Amino acid sequence: MKRISLTQHLIEEQRLHNNIPAELRLLIEVVARACKTISHAVGKGALGEVLGSADSENVQGEVQKKLDIISNDILLQANEWGGHLAAMASEEMETIHPIPNRYPMGEYLLLFDPLDGSSNIDVNVSIGTIFSVLKAPAGMSAPNEQAFLQPGSQQVAAGYAVYGPQTVLVLTTGNGVQSFTLDREMGSWVMTQREAKIPEDTKEYAINASNARHWFAPVQRYVDEMNAGKTGPRAKDFNMRWIASMVADVHRILTRGGIFMYPADARDPDKPGKLRLMYEANPMAFIVEQAGGAATNGKERILDIQPTSLHQRVAVFLGSKNEVDLVTGYHNEA
Ligand code: AHG
Ligand code: MN
Ligand code: MN
């Protein structure tokens, strides 16, 4: 098998499509290198003293795990000095992180969920890192939060690393979705899938069903109809999976199809769903669309949403196109 490294892929993409200038390539390679470091820390587990809580809370009031903070620091340090970024924003930091004055300022903005699936860290289940890249607005002198508030359709790259039985990096720069497996001995990312395609139809769905009593009618209807199986209105049996790491659930969907849902529900009108638009929904929506799938908040395309704040939450329905269209239709009928 001919091995194509991440670097070779990025250079060839640039030659073919002229969409990965040198600074963006550096950015992607630095993020990928940071993910390698995180993967190494994750793999050490208790031996590396990285498990357990950190006795602190993030801006969303969630208890932080040690690995949330370690991963955040790894990404910050890796990306500060290269000259490719103007600023960073993270799920684990209240405000944006401008590039310190001692380093040159670049034209990109990097956003990340440093460690996705925190509840799975201590139980040795797949977790991941999600990232999104925007261009700083033209003429911006000093980066501020406003610069980040661009709809997901403006992303120039997005990706995730999943730390599972294998560490895999999934990437889009707007020309399909490529996957790279970490060769641990060589320390290199090797392309293992050139063009991920999500099947349009599926028999598999993912939702945290313990919230069923809080769901709104369109979600209730959609899930009830799937659960009715062969003799119900959908006339087929469905299977259910919920890993509680969005990265791992999305990776399964990218591999064999499915629909992932984290809907808004009746609990707290100020909290439209649990997932964060800028660090989770937008990058995943970009990847899923580039693989032929769809992503909505139940009503509209996630990538069309104009963000109003850095840490805003959003309902998410993504994956196999025909299923996302169906549940989105149920919301728009209601
Ligand atoms: P994070 O660990 O970054 O806070 O994200 C966890 C998210 C997402 O990965 C997952 O799909 C969801 O939360 C799981 O939520 P429940 O615990 O409600 O199932
Ligand atoms: Mn997350
Ligand atoms: Mn996280």
Q: Is the CB of 244 within 6 Å of ligand 1?
A: yes
**Counting every residue, how long is the chain?**
334
User: Could you tell me the pLDDT band of residue 12, with boundaries at 50, 70 and 90?
Assistant: very high
pLDDT at 171: 98
Give the residue, out of 127, 130, 160, 262, with the most ligand 1 atoms within 8 A of its beta carbon, to mutate for a pocket test.
262
At residue 190, the pLDDT reads 98
Q: Is the pLDDT of residue 327 over 80?
A: yes
Closest ligand to the CA of 280: 2
Question: Is 280 labelled as part of a ligand binding site?
Answer: yes
Q: What's the whole-number mean pLDDT along residues 259-287?
A: 95
* Burial zone of 168 (CB within 10 Å; 0-12 exposed, 13-18 middle, 19+ buried): buried
Q: Which ligand is nearest to the CA of 62?
A: 1
Give the distance (Å) from ligand 2 centre to CA of residue 303: 18
Give the model's confidence band at 19: pLDDT under 50 very low, under 70 low, under 90 confident, else very high: very high
Taking only the tens place, the pLDDT of each residue in 278-318 is 999 999 999 999 999 999 999 999 999 999 999 999 999 99
- Please, which residues bridge with residue 177 across strands? 172
pLDDT on residue 141: 84
pLDDT tens for each residue of 31-86: 999 999 999 999 999 999 889 999 888 888 888 999 999 999 999 999 999 999 99
Classified as helix, coil or strand, 169 is strand
> Whose alpha carbon is nearest atom 16 of ligand 1?
244
| pLDDT in the model for residue 208 | 98
Task: Name the residue at shortest CA distance from atom 18 of ligand 1.
Answer: 208
Residues 154-163: what's their mean pLDDT? Answer: 98
The pLDDT of residue 63 is 85
Phi, then psi, of 65 in degrees rounded to 5: -90, 160
Predicted confidence at residue 163, as pLDDT, reads 98
Supply the CATH classification number for the domain 204-333. 3.40.190.80
| Poorest-pLDDT segment among 57-61, 72-76, 148-152, 174-178 | 57-61
Does residue 264 register a pLDDT over 80?
Answer: yes
Report the pLDDT value the prediction gives residue 177, as an integer from 0 to 100.
98
Global pTM value: 0.97
CB atoms within 10 A of CB 144: 14
* H/E stretch holding 135: strand 127-135
**254 annotated to bind ligand:** no
Residue 3: its pLDDT value, please? 95
Ligand nearest to the CA of 242: 1
* Ligand 1 and 119: CB distance under 6 A: yes
Q: With a 6 A CB cut-off, is 113 part of the ligand 1 pocket?
A: yes
Q: What angle do CA 41, 58, 129 make, to 5 degrees?
A: 40
Taking 90 as the threshold, does the pLDDT of residue 115 lie above it?
yes
Q: How far is CA 238 from CA 109, 212, 216, 320, in A?
A: 40, 17, 21, 14
Identify the nearest ligand to the CA of 283 by its number.
2
What does the pLDDT read at residue 93?
96
Q: Where are the chain's structural domains?
A: 6-193, 204-333
Integer angstrom CA distances of residue 15 from 20, 28, 144: 9, 16, 33
CB of 208 closer than 6 A to ligand 1? yes
Range 161-187 average pLDDT: 97
Task: For residue 118, say whether it is annotated as part of any ligand binding site.
Answer: yes
Average pLDDT, the chain: 96
Structure tokens at 116: 């996705």
**Which is it for the CA torsion 152, 277, 262, 256, positive or negative?**
positive
Say what the pLDDT of residue 97 is. Answer: 97
pLDDT at 178 over 90: yes
Span 211-238, average pLDDT: 98
CA atoms within 13 A on the CB side of 264: 16
Distance 1 CA to ligand 3 centre (A): 35
Instruction: Render the burial of 38-69: b for 16+ CB within 10 Å, e for the rest.
Output: bbbbbeeeeeeebbeeeeeebeeeeebbbbbb
Q: Is 94 annotated as a binding residue?
A: no
Cα–ligand 3 centroid distance for 113 (angstroms): 5
Is 116 known to sit in a ligand binding site?
yes
**Percent above pLDDT 70 for the chain:** 100
Q: Give the pLDDT of residue 270.
A: 80
Give the pLDDT of residue 57: 86
Residue 62: predicted pLDDT: 83
265 Cβ below 6 A of ligand 1: no
Residue 83: C-alpha distances to residues 78, 103, 110, 195 (Å): 11, 6, 12, 31
pLDDT of residue 139: 87
Nearest CA to ligand 1 atom 14: 244
Cα–ligand 3 centroid distance for 80 (angstroms): 20
- Closest atom of ligand 1 to 274 CA is 13
56 is annotated as contributing to ligand binding: no
Q: What is the CATH code of the structural domain delimited by 6-193?
A: 3.30.540.10
Residue 118 near ligand 1, beta carbon < 6 Å = yes
